Amino acid sequence: MPILNYSTSIAVEKTTGEIQGKLAQAGAQAVMTEYDAERVLCALSFRMLCSGIMVSFRLPAQIDRIYVLLQRDSKVPRRLKTREQAARVAWRIIKDWVEAQLAIVEAEQAEMVEVFLPYAQNPATGKTLFEQLLNDQFAMLEYKPH
C-alpha cells in the first residue's frame, strides 16, 4: 500500500500554514520556517512556555526519505514520483501527526511538551532531544539491573 497522503495535491505552504495555525492555537509564541538548498520548506520550529521556561521545538520534514519511498513504490503513479510531491506528502503527514498530538493534549491525556518532547531543541547545540539521545546511543535510557 502506498505511503499515507501520497496523492495529495495540497501545496506545502498551505499545509505548513495550517500547522502554524494549530500550533499558535495551542500556545506557540513563535513559529519559524526553514528551507533547504533547493528552497523547499524543510522544517518548522516553534517555541512556547513550558512550566515558566521558554522551550524551542523543531519539526523536520524528511523529504528525501519520502522521495525514496515514492520512487520505490510500484503503486505510486510516475507523475507523483517527484521531490516536489515528496515535500507535499511529508508535510501532510506531519500535519496529520500534529493534529493527533494536539487532540491528545486537548483530551487532557498529555501535556504539550510531553507529546513534542523528542523535538525539543537544545539551545546550545540546536540538536533535538531525540538527536542527542541517538548520538549518545540512548545511554541515559539504558536499563542497568542492580
- Give me the residue spans of the domains in the chain: 12-116
**Residue 126, CA distances (Å) to 11, 97, 120, 130 in order:** 28, 22, 9, 12
Question: Rounded to an integer, what distance in angstroms lies between the CA atom of residue 76 and that of residue 55?
Answer: 39
Q: Return the closest-CA partner of residue 36 out of 79, 106, 83.
A: 83
Is the backbone of residue 18 left (phi > 0), alpha (psi -120 to 50) or beta? alpha
29-80 per-position pLDDT tens digit: 999 999 999 999 999 999 999 889 999 999 999 999 999 999 999 999 999 9
The mean pLDDT of 4-30, rounded to a whole number, is: 96
Identify the pLDDT of residue 146: 79
